[in-house]
Chains A and B, each alone.
Chain A
Amino acid sequence: MTAPNSPLRGRKLGDRRVVVDRPHSAYFRYAGPGVMIAKAAASAPTTAQGRRLARVRAFVFGKPLSSAQEIEERLSKKLALPIFSSDAISSSAYATDEILRVLVLAGLAWMTWSIWVAAAIALMLTIVAFSYRQVCRGYPSGGGAYVVARENLGPNFGLIAAAALMVDYVMTVAVSSASALANLATAFTVIQPYKVELGALVIILVTAANLRGIRESGNIFAIPTYLFVGMALLAIGVGLMNTATGAAHHLDAPLLAETPGVQAFTMLLLLKAFAGGSVALTGVEAIANGVPAFKPPEAKNAANTLIIMAVLLGVIFIGLTFVGLQYGVEATKPGGPTVLGQVGHAVFGGGFLFILLQISAALILFLACNTSFNAFPRLAAILAKDDCMPRQFAFRGDRLAFSWGIVILAAVSIAMLWAFDASVDALIPLYSVGVFICFTLSQAGMVVHWRKERSSGWAWRSLVNGFGAILTGVVFLVVAYEKFDAGAKLVLVFIPFLIAMMMFIRHQYAASARQLEMKPGAAVPQPHRHNRVVIPISGVNRAVVQALNVARSITTDIRAVYVSDDPARSDAVREQWTQTVPDVPLVLVESPYRALIAPVVAYLDVLGRSWPDEREKPITFVLIPEYVARHWWERMLYNQAAKQLRAALLGRPHTVVINVPYRRDEARAQAAAQASQPAGTLVAADNGRPPEP
């Protein structure tokens, strides 16, 4: 309580009032009976160093946001579309290449099949989008395939979906940054030797933008996505118009990716082309993972955004394939022009619009990784809430972003870039394996969902999802088979590893929860265990006396322990101790081997053994007097032995270790008190040294 303010006189005789201090108001706000809400000031750093660090953090990541501002950080549909769709939409920039690269093996005459393969992929996209639309509505708390599989197929299937998704998100970041750099390197060869470093830099920049919060990162990344969509639609529109007017003419034969006609046109080849083009679907699931990021009504907005994304992706993918076919566009060798580039060049004629299309494609490929930065941390947070990931992943940072997930994703992606030397060819086989596992599981989960729910139209809905599950399952098998030797086997090893890790974490949390569990409604009786205090001392000084005073408030069974390798010094300490604190026994431990910590621990062992077996073990409080260093360099000078002792006693049964800090300002106050008291009282003489137990 603060001292009351003196009464103020009013305007009329006898009117008085007192303005009451509100000491809590700077830091807290009462929200209800017994409930206080901490204000920003309560979380503000109190040291100069902390304040400097906070200013730097605010400059880089922005000022901290309160949880109440979460609703303001929610995304509108037009902002959510670029955030969650850059991965999916950017894949339309290279999906047609993947189809053509396979079909060319059967001969140029079979290239016309590309449009049918693209149509089949678009059908699969429709089914998957339809399914995830239902997921958004059915599971508005987010989580996508993981939650669907967990709820309908069982927790372990949920973990398979989660592990597959996490691997795919990491690969999305690594592949998109590597492929964007590969594109840039063809134009600026000087960056070729620094691709890993530049890729890491790009990932760090995207990480920093995401740590600033989802809304702000959306503002940063919206323009490139919309620019690409606009330019791609314009290219398709002009291409269609040229086709209709007969102005579309076949291009000169480019440098083909493969020798044409080396394989027969078989069902397997068609499936390979289908599997290759299915990379267009990667990233479709991201919206279903991030439903809570949308403005209310969250589920409806997410579902509608998903449909807009699927329509845009489908239109651009089929449009580019169709227009490319009209112009006789082919897949080329690495380093050659892409299908998008060839189409752009054909319809725009190599002018400003063509350059703009290429720049927008490079930008969206760069930013495709941003989808992962939004989806991965949310998935990790949901897993953390389910005790399958460390709980830190569920905490939001200063800017309401799931900082742990963002940072871990960045770190693992940079490691992947480094491990594969930022080579797109080496990374691509690891990509898109995981996403088809989660598509299959989510579709299968939705079949069970419809059958359980039995709402109107459940039969045809489950039929569609069942068909989708089979289709995506087949694509998964084809992708895994085709890419197995090229690197997919790594993914197929890593996914079980992640599952095992999550199961281990879940088991650990469950075990600790069982150990900490209380019987509901059970009253906790007063403890009857004996308490005793042991104070390791470095001499007789104020810090020790302070610890002693704290000990007296705990119990009367107190003893001090002094470990020394110098008998003369021990005698001096004993003499001073008996003069100053005669009622507290001092145990002197001579340590001829000069060890300081081990003898204290051994003494505690002896104390424990000397306790009668039939009685409940007492709680031993070890009070460690500690001199509070004011500066960072002082910390190196003091309390080193105290730290070692704390470490040695960590986890020791029936033992509580307490630091009793002694501050310099208390030293002054005690010095003043000492000056006014007779000698021999508890305020002991200072031996001139800070304590060092």
Chain B
Amino acid sequence: MPEANAAVFRRAVLALSGGPTDEMIVRLACELARPTHAELIAVHVVELDWTKPLDADVAERSEEAQRVLDAAEGIADLVHGKIEAVLVQARDLGAAIVDEAAARDADLLILGLPYKTRFGGDFAVGRAVPYAFKNAPCAVWVVREPMGEESR
């Protein structure tokens, strides 16, 4: 029986966006994965609109997309963790992440959520997080970016 406060998972998918939450997610996941040697899969999705075929040579040539995953690998190295980096092209971010987590039989999906507000001050959650909450077969954690000074 695991301890009540220990987060136990075998395999976690980390959804990385290239934003400020990536480092938080990778550090957190590496810390939690260390005791059980759980597997970590970092996924970055490049969304393609319908003007391009899904297998168009976009993400592979995109240094920016590669850099998101390379930076995650670098952070994992720093904290002596190990992640598998996966680059995906898809039409819809949320669906691709959930599908990847399901395909890899992950028991945890961690997403980052930037602190953004719409006009009028409402907090904007975006589409991917609600989609994951609604459709992911595994547990879903969301790591929200801290509020900026102006929002407090």
- A residues near B (Cβ < 8 Å) are 1-2, 4-8, 10-12, 15-25, 29-34, 68
Contact = CB atoms under 8 A, between A and B. Distances in A.
A17 B100 contact: yes
B67 interface: yes
A30 B90 contact: no
A10 B95 contact: yes
Given A7-B54, A18-B89, 9 more contacts: A1-B57, A10-B96, A10-B99, A11-B95, A15-B96, A15-B99, A20-B87, A29-B73, A30-B71
A30 B66 contact: yes
A16 B70 contact: no
Contacts of A11: 95, 98-99, 102, 135
Interface in B87-113: 87-92, 95-96, 98-100, 102-103
A34 B90 CA distance: 25
A68 B63 CA distance: 22
A22 B56 CA distance: 15
A194 to B, nearest CB: 46
A21 B67 contact: no
Interface residues of B, number: 34
B137 to A, nearest CB: 8
Interface of B: 45-46, 54-57, 59-61, 63, 66-67, 69-71, 73-74, 78, 85-92, 95-96, 98-100, 102-103, 135
Contact of B88 (A1, A12, A19, A24): A19
Given A11-B98, A15-B95, A30-B67, A5 B87 contact: no
A20 B59 contact: yes
B58 to A, nearest CB: 8
Nearest to A14: B91
B63 A19 contact: no
B102 A25 contact: no
B55 A18 contact: yes
A42 to B, nearest CB: 13
A4 B57 contact: yes
15 contacts: A8-B99, A8-B103, A11-B95, A12-B135, A15-B90, A16-B91, A17-B45, A17-B88, A17-B100, A22-B85, A25-B66, A30-B66, A30-B67, A31-B70, A31-B74
Contact of A30 (B54, B70, B86): B70
B95 A18 contact: no
B149 to A, nearest CB: 27
B95 A12 contact: yes
Contacts of A5: 55
B73 A17 contact: no
B134 to A, nearest CB: 11
A20 B100 CA distance: 13
Contacts of B102: 11
A25 B69 contact: yes
A299 to B, nearest CB: 26
Nearest to A32: B67
A129 B67 CA distance: 49
B67 to A, nearest CB: 4
Q: Which of A25, A33, A34 has the most CB of B within 10 A?
A: A25
Contacts of B54: 7, 16-18
Contacts of A34: 63
Given A6-B55, A11-B99, A29-B70, A20 B63 contact: no
Contacts of B61: 1
Contacts of B88: 17-20
Contacts of B56: 4
Nearest to B89: A18
A40 to B, nearest CB: 11
A21 B135 CA distance: 27
Contacts of B89: 17-18, 20
A32 B98 CA distance: 29
Q: Which of A1, A6, A29, A34 has the most CB of B within 10 A?
A: A29
Nearest to B58: A20
B103 to A, nearest CB: 7
Nearest to B45: A17
Contacts of B96: 10, 15, 17
Nearest to A4: B55
Contacts of A29: 70, 73-74
B99 A17 contact: yes
B98 to A, nearest CB: 7
A504 B70 CA distance: 45
A33 B57 contact: no
Contacts of B135: 11-12
Contacts of A6: 55
Contacts of B98: 10-11
A333 B73 CA distance: 65
Contacts of B85: 22, 25
A85 B124 CA distance: 61
A10 B94 CA distance: 11
Contacts of B100: 17
Contacts of B66: 22, 24-25, 30
Contacts of A17: 45, 54, 88-90, 95-96, 99-100
Contacts of B59: 20
Nearest to B100: A17
Given A11-B135, A12-B95, A18-B88, A33 B63 contact: yes
A15 B92 contact: yes
Q: Which of A10, A32, A33 has the most CB of B within 10 A?
A: A10
Contacts of B78: 68
